[in-house]
Amino acid sequence: MTKDSLHVRVKTARRRSAQSTRWLERQLNDPYVKRAKAEGYRSRAAYKLIELDERFHFLRGVRAVVDLGLAPGGWAQVVRKQCPKAAVAGIDLLEVDPIPGVAILQMDFMADEAPAALLTALGGQVADLVLSDMAANTVGHQQTDHLRTMGLVEAAAYFAVDVLKPGGAFVAKVLAGGADNDLVTLLKKNFTAVKHAKPPASRKGSSEWYVVAQGFKGRPEPDANPV
């Protein structure tokens, strides 16, 4: 039996557009989708995190993790599997089915109360890894969509700088071209290593890349004797 003979073709249903038919066919024939289903992960995105960690090892020894853009929960599942003793808190606008060992907040990360709520959900522990798979809802205008998504990434980076312990890491989805200059400057100022990567599980036609910042330098101590 040849590989081509295993390819599933989807007929266009009366109420299904050609675009949705192509998407469904791609899903049915995606080896990562099949693997996720077999291994109990909620999405193929789980393998993006697994592959990034195989290269950068940021999950090694983590004890407290924040997952921004949690839904549907694949990344949190990976963290719980590889770091079963870690405290994990995640946030998303969408409702997420419960994940054992994960504190789930359904709220807007950009809300003023969100950062404090996430830290409370960690049980008072200091985060040593912040993950962000956030992306803004698209409006169909490429430049606007890019700016909105990168605004979320930048907010996630500032959050990481505020909450990480020294030596911690920040991993975030960015778009084609990687992090912009302002974000790269922020990350290089605060982390010892900043790199971009596109894991094999990320579809070739996708515009997504990931930025991995490791070795958080720590926040400067407040001046005990301000002038």
Residue range 146-171, pLDDT digits in tens: 788 889 999 999 999 999 999 999 99
Q: Average pLDDT, stretch 49-75?
A: 97
In this structure, are residues 29 and 198 in contact, taking their beta carbons and an 8 Å threshold? Answer: no
| 9, part of any domain | no
**131 part of a folded domain:** yes
Per the CB < 8 A criterion, the answer to whether 52 and 171 are in contact is yes
The answer to whether residue 203 sits within a structural domain is yes
The single-letter code of the amino acid at 55 is R
pLDDT attached to residue 100: 96
Does the pLDDT of residue 120 top 90, yes or no? Answer: yes
**Average pLDDT score over the chain:** 86
Return the SS3 of 32.
helix
Read off the pTM.
0.83
- Count up the domains in the chain and report the number: 1
Residue 10 inside a domain? The answer is no
Average pLDDT in the 44-59 region?
97
| 115 part of a folded domain | yes
Determine what percent of the chain is predicted with pLDDT higher than 70.
80
**Does residue 118 lie in a domain region?**
yes
Residue 26 lies in a domain: no
- The answer to whether residue 19 scores a pLDDT higher than 70 is no
Q: What are phi and psi of 115, to 5 degrees?
A: -55, -45
Write down the pLDDT at residue 137: 72
Residue 67: domain span: 42-216
Question: Beta partners for 210?
Answer: 173, 197
Weakest mean pLDDT among 17-21, 110-114, 192-196: 17-21
Catalytic residues: 173
Domain assignment present for 189: yes
* CATH value at residue 173: 3.40.50.150
Task: Write down the pLDDT at residue 1.
Answer: 42
Pairing of strands 87-92, 164-174: unpaired
Residue 17 CA to residue 125 CA, distance in Å, equals: 48
State how far the alpha carbon of 223 is from the alpha carbons of 99, 206, 219, 227, in Å.
Answer: 42, 46, 12, 9
